[in-house]
Structure 1
């Protein structure tokens, strides 16, 4: 039996989640936007190591509960380890979230960077809706890759020398058409929820703008630089031939793939921890209320 891919990416997940949000923004959402004042039962679809629980539980009213579900046994074991000394009521379900049935007993159904990895986003959204009580709330934190790619500024370089937006937009669209998995799903979720009968739909964007500042403390600079590299910015693209072959298989022309390889190779050499860089992930945060 082959290893589940995300079970091998716990280190990556741990190093990159903090690039997306400031902690006070979570507090603002919980207290000022969603106005959660009574204990709630939360279920997290594709919970990974329970990241969303670590952000939400300290902000939710006492006696709130958190249930996380994921197919990765190492992720679930890591989540249990994280929460074993925490003063919260938690439960973790190991299994394919698409196949596990949940009772209609939760006040909040949440997912974070999960829908982009499935082919049937609307079906998963319907399943999330189905486990909510009347007036329950669905909350989806999902990416819009192309807006994230447009939000880099590397000092000393034109943005067009760092990211080929037009090419990447077409590439992502072709990927979605071919595989059904959509890295731009975050911007589409408000439409999907409305089509599924959800009401009071709102969509926001993650607030954090990361600033790599070589004039800052060395440990801060190194931590951010390491996380940005882990997230893929300035990463070594590897050997040219397989890189180009992969992009061609995804629908790129040979010239487009060759240009992308040259750009990423150049960026991997230029992006060092003494560079000035600003970057915003622009994660989309969509919520709505279920009326039964």
Structure 2
């Protein structure tokens, strides 16, 4: 096993990324919102297996290049293997972002679901900004878990019975207080970009709405179901007493922990490939212009 946990999560990453964006929306952002009409040098902080490179390079002007940075040895190797098959200039740097300062050499700095893992996201954003040229862009694709959890609908189940939003919001806030991992960082990024001096700041939301439909093509439905399961939807909560204890350690009261456990248990019993489920991940896409 790798010492770096995300090196052991490549299957999860590759299974779930397709839940978040439609290609035509990303193309719209590049052409109409970010107005990238000339080749750019792009650097991806916490690149993983190169997901954003795979998505964006075919849409960017010809001659654009991609540099991926990640501390995961297996992730970087996977990214090299995948991107080597494509006709784009690429480079990969295996290093911890927290220990790395890149020179001012890029037109665009991006990250995807990365800042939420940083105890000091401002420090990472400062590094991103320093690596970008005057009038370049910083673009952050980051989650907003509270909005994410509000965007499920399970046919035949009351939303509040399987997703108690107030309890989940409390869990996210307590986790952030205790461990610095902010699953709601996506809604905070615009303010951070402004505080760090960026201009023309905007925030968009991912357009993808996933619909699990048991009447649809079986292969398509099975692929989506497997992705949703990999995302964690419908997993059994595990041993009752152990789970309750863990939830209370994370900051819930005994009653809140019991309600959350029962909600997860109900969903695990009810959710199947025959379910109707509508799910919008609600990823936030924040960006601004660097002025030096």
TM range (shorter): over 0.9
> Would the alpha carbon gap of residues 2 and 85 (structure 1) be closer, same or farther in structure 2, given more than 3 Å must change?
closer
Q: State the 1:2 CA deviation.
A: 5.7
> Would the alpha carbon gap of residues 153 and 66 (structure 1) be closer, same or farther in structure 2, given more than 3 Å must change?
same
Q: Deviations over 1:35-62 (max 9, x none)?
A: 1011100000000000000011001111
* Cα distance in 2, alignment partners of residues 135 and 71 from structure 1: 28
Q: Deviations over 1:62-116 (max 9, x none)?
A: 1111000001000000001101121000000001011112010100000000000
Moved over 4 A (4+): none
* Cα distance in 2, alignment partners of residues 137 and 278 from structure 1: 33
Instruction: Report the counterpart of residue 84 of structure 2 in structure 1.
Output: 84
Q: State the 1:246 CA deviation.
A: 1.3
* Cα distance in 2, alignment partners of residues 81 and 246 from structure 1: 39
Instruction: Report the counterpart of residue 105 of structure 2 in structure 1.
Output: 105
Instruction: Report the counterpart of residue 172 of structure 2 in structure 1.
Output: 172
Instruction: Report the counterpart of residue 96 of structure 1 in structure 2.
Output: 96
Q: State the 1:224 CA deviation.
A: 0.7
Instruction: Report the counterpart of residue 69 of structure 2 in structure 1.
Output: 69
Instruction: Report the counterpart of residue 286 of structure 1 in structure 2.
Output: 286
* Cα distance in 2, alignment partners of residues 161 and 196 from structure 1: 41
TM-score where L is the length of structure 2: 0.98
Instruction: Report the counterpart of residue 267 of structure 1 in structure 2.
Output: 267
Q: CA RMSD in A?
A: 0.9
* Cα distance in 2, alignment partners of residues 258 and 7 from structure 1: 33
> Would the alpha carbon gap of residues 270 and 220 (structure 1) be closer, same or farther in structure 2, given more than 3 Å must change?
same
TM-score where L is the length of structure 1: 0.98
Is the CA contact (8 Å cut-off) linking 2:52 and 2:112 kept in structure 1? yes
Q: Unaligned 5+ residue runs, structure 2? A: none
- Counterparts of 1:195-214 in structure 2, within 5 Å, are 195-214=195-214
Q: Unaligned 5+ residue runs, structure 1? A: none
Instruction: Report the counterpart of residue 189 of structure 1 in structure 2.
Output: 189
Q: State the 1:172 CA deviation.
A: 0.6
Q: Deviations over 1:199-219 (max 9, x none)?
A: 000000000000000010001
Q: State the 1:29 CA deviation.
A: 0.5
> 1:140 is paired with a residue of what secondary structure?
strand
